[in-house]
Every structure is written in structure tokens, then in C-alpha cells.
Structure 1
Amino acid sequence: MNNLKNKVVYITGGTKGIGFGVAKCLIEAGMRVAISGRNLETAENAVAELGNKDQVLAIESDVSVLKNENEAIEKIIAKWGQLDVVLANAGVGKFAPVDQLSESDWNAMIETNLTGAFFSLKASVEALKKSEGYYITLASLAGTNFFAQGAGYNASKFGLVGFTQAAMLDLRQYGIKVSTIMPGSVATYFNDHIPNEKDAWKIQPEDIGKLVLDLLTMNPRTLPSKIEVRPTRPDLK
């Protein structure tokens, strides 16, 4: 996939943060980008900020609903006739001691972070077989490092890493490449944070965008299937 011009990518949760940063990088590389969010107006506002309407598509989709993801893929195929890359980026985080973690918060993380990634792949896999495309999940270092008050989030991200690696083994026979990216601290809006100048030490969304570009343009004989990425230096405060 060394020539990315007019290749088509679907980014879930692409209206802000990492997804939006990756979208900007891929658009600059000449790709056509569909971004989804739970709210169509929010997705359309993000598309307006990204620019060229012929190159970007806004989609409303709750990834925890398979019907929504099926319809999202149908819209992409109807507009551009193909799908080459899926970035399963949508995610939520709710943090509390396990004895205080609510059922609704647990379900929100599992249904979005884990089941949502499955539904995104389930909906797109036949199109990816045709294009011999790429499926990438946005996991976290929380998928390998557990921490206090992270029981639900850890469970969803540990599960996502395992799901992605198993999917990689299942799908490479079709020429589909599968990878998971596991970032540490990223300057995003995650968990109601507002990015600011104090986040300069963190990974920036465009850094993840560059990493995705590196994956897409790597020689097709080589597959980095699990990538850990963290800030070069910790917050020294």
C-alpha cells in the first residue's frame, strides 16, 4: 500500500483526539477518509474542519451496535466503491475502584472498546478481503499494564489486544494485515481532559498519525502486529 492516494480509510471515533489527528495525517497523504462519531453534527463539524468534502465523509455510528457499523460500511462503499483501511479507534474510559465500579460504566467500556472493535471488523471484513487491506485497533499500554481503579478499562484493553492478535492470525491468509497500537499518555480529550500546554511531554495525536502512515507504507512482506509507544520522557513536573 505504498501509494496511498485515493485509498479509503474508515476511522471510528474520529471527531477529535487521536482519531482526528490520524485523519489529518492520512488526508495530507492523499487518502479518502470517513470518520464516525455517535453524533452526526459533531462528525460533520469535524469534516468541515478537515476540509475537502470530496475527500472526507461524516458518519453517525455507535460502534457498539452492529447495525450501525454495517450501515457505515455501506455508506463508504456507496461513496467511494472500496475500503482499504479500518482504524478501530472509538473508546471510553471510566475509572473507579472495582468495588465501586458501576454496571453501566463496565458495560460502556466493554461494549465500546472491545465489542465495538469486533463489530467494526465484522462489518468491514469482506471489503477488506477484496482490497487486501489493513485493520488497526487503537488499544493502550493499559492492555498490558494493569493499574488501580482500572479494572474495567484494563479488561477492555487487555481483551482488545488479544482480540486483535487472534484476528491477525485468522485474516492474514486473505492478505489482510492486522495490527494493534498501544499508546501510553497522549494529549487528547479522553476522560474529559482538555489538551493544554502542560501536555507537551505527551505523545501528540499527529504522532499516532505518523505511526499509522508508517504501518501503511511498510513493505507488505513485513507486519508489526503489536506496537507499544510511549512518551520519550515522563512528566517531570
Structure 2
Amino acid sequence: MDKLKNKVAFITGGTKGIGRGIAESLLKLNMNVAITSRTQSAAQEAADELNNANSGEGNVIGIEADVRDYDSQKEAVAKILDKWGQIDVLVANAGLGHFGNISELTVDQWDETISTNLTGVFYSVKATLEALQNSEGYIFTISSLAGTNFFAGGSAYNASKFGLTGFSQALMLDVRDKGVKVTTIMPGSVATHFGGHEPSSDDDWKIQSEDMGQIVSDLLQMHPRTLPSKVEVRPSKPPKK
């Protein structure tokens, strides 16, 4: 934990769900965390809640930013560097899903899924890479088991996560000689608000957001000689159909 104290993490889409669970875990390691949302009000509200709940030494700032806009990502990075002078961890988490038979899927839904889940990660990485090379930092991309397993009605989502998994593995090979580590985490069912879902006790069998946070925390504390470049994670006991 001591080696992570005052390190700085940048989490896209960190106001709820997986991103928020990761933010909570990193705060327990006394890290400083920047979370983004498409609106400043949502980002600030989540940052205030996280700061109020945190008894450690790390703190959180909320930034309005859209991963689909490269300039927006560069501005977010500039704000983080102005605040803390460094970025040690990027968690490219922001994502969404549109699902439906290809005959029903709209062009706008396809474009939004690819631009958020795939191009948005490229923008986040590109905007942050110089700072991460300076700190010899760590990049986490949040893919999905849908990045290797296709399903009916998932053409846009499958394509975005297949692409993200491939991008992440190539990125890992591009930057490891610069001292930057890359892991893509591929979860199965997670109890989040994804797709408008409202988590409840019916989701207790699923991976929880704090479980995702623990994975990131554990990987950050692993001996630097070892890099788990791709991590699949799934519920251990899904309900019987």
C-alpha cells in the first residue's frame, strides 16, 4: 500500500458501477483519483460522496469529459496534471451497450457503441500516454467476456469488445518497453446500472463492483516483474436455468 500512496488514477466513467467500485478500492490504498462523467454535476456529486465516505488520505476530483471527444480527454488529462502533477494509472472504463437483432439496430446505436467502447478507449489512452510513460504507469481497459464470446443481438457490443480486447493486447506490446503495463479485464455478469438496470438482491450472484475494484488493487500491488495481460472473471455460481 505504501508504494501506491499519493499515486494518481484517472478513471473514465467513474461515477457508478465498475468505475466507482474501482475508485473506492484505490482510495483505500490512499491514492488520489479523478473520475469523469459526461456532466459536471454527476461527476461532482460522485466525487463528493466518495470523499465523504473516504477515511484515508487520498481524495477525488470530478471532471466533465466525454470519451468520444479526443479534445475532451486531453482537457481532462490537463486538469489532472494541473491538480497533482502526474498520472500513474488509467482505468478506461466508460462504456455502454445497445442490443438487438441487426435488422433493428440503428446506425446511431452502432456508431455510439463503437465510438464509446472502442474509439473512446483509444482517445483516453492517447491523451494519457505521455504522462503514463513519465510515471511508468499502468493502463487497465475494461472489456468483457463478450470480447471473446458472441451472442445473438450483440453485434455492436460484441464488435466493440472484440475490438477493445485486440486493441488492449496490441497496446500492451507497444508500451511495455516504455515501462507501462497494460491489463484488460474481461468480466461476465456484473451487478451494475448497465443498460438501465437497477441492481437489487436478485443480483447477489453476480460479480459486484467492489470485486472489480479488488482485482485492480491486487494487480497494482503485484510484483512488477509479472504482468497478467488479460484477466477473465465470471460469477462462480450463476443461477441454474
TM-score range normalised by the length of the shorter chain: over 0.9
- State yes or no: 1:143 paired with 2:163: no
* Deviation of 1:28 (Å): 1.1
Render the CA deviation track for 1:179-223: whole Å, top value 9, x for unaligned.
100000000000000000000000000000000001111100000
Alignment of 1:178-217 (within 5 A): 178-217=182-221
User: Aligned equivalents of 1:149 and 1:67: distance in 2?
Assistant: 33
* Deviation of 1:44 (Å): 0.5
- State yes or no: 1:65 paired with 2:69: yes
Gaps of 5+ in 2: none
* Deviation of 1:101 (Å): 0.7
Report the counterpart of residue 42 of structure 1 in structure 2: 42
Q: Please, which of 135, 145, 152 is the counterpart of residue 131 of structure 1?
A: 135
* Deviation of 1:103 (Å): 0.3
Report the counterpart of residue 13 of structure 2 in structure 1: 13
User: Aligned equivalents of 2:197 and 2:238: distance in 1?
Assistant: 18
Q: Which amino acid aligns with 1:211?
A: I
Measured on the aligned residues, the alpha-carbon RMSD in Å equals 1.3
Greater Cα shift, 71-80 or 227-236: 227-236
Q: Which amino acid aligns with 1:101?
A: L
Alignment of 1:23-172 (within 5 A): 23-51=23-51, 55-172=59-176
User: Aligned equivalents of 1:4 and 1:227: distance in 2?
Assistant: 22
Moved over 2 A (4+): none
* Deviation of 1:2 (Å): 6.7
User: Aligned equivalents of 2:39 and 2:109: distance in 1?
Assistant: 20
TM-score, normalization by structure 2: 0.96
* Deviation of 1:236 (Å): 3.2
Render the CA deviation track for 1:83-127: whole Å, top value 9, x for unaligned.
000000000100000121100000011000000000000000000
Q: Percent identity?
A: 57
Q: Please, which of 154, 168, 173 is the counterpart of residue 177 of structure 2?
A: 173
User: Aligned equivalents of 2:47 and 2:66: distance in 1?
Assistant: 18
How many residues of Structure 1 are paired with residues of Structure 2 in the alignment? 237
Q: Which amino acid aligns with 1:176?
A: V
Gaps of 5+ in 1: none
Report the counterpart of residue 3 of structure 1 in structure 2: 3
User: Aligned equivalents of 2:13 and 2:115: distance in 1?
Assistant: 14
TM-score, normalization by structure 1: 0.98
User: Aligned equivalents of 1:236 and 1:25: distance in 2?
Assistant: 31
User: Aligned equivalents of 1:176 and 1:2: distance in 2?
Assistant: 20
User: Aligned equivalents of 2:239 and 2:205: distance in 1?
Assistant: 6
User: Aligned equivalents of 1:236 and 1:11: distance in 2?
Assistant: 35
User: Aligned equivalents of 1:186 and 1:61: distance in 2?
Assistant: 24
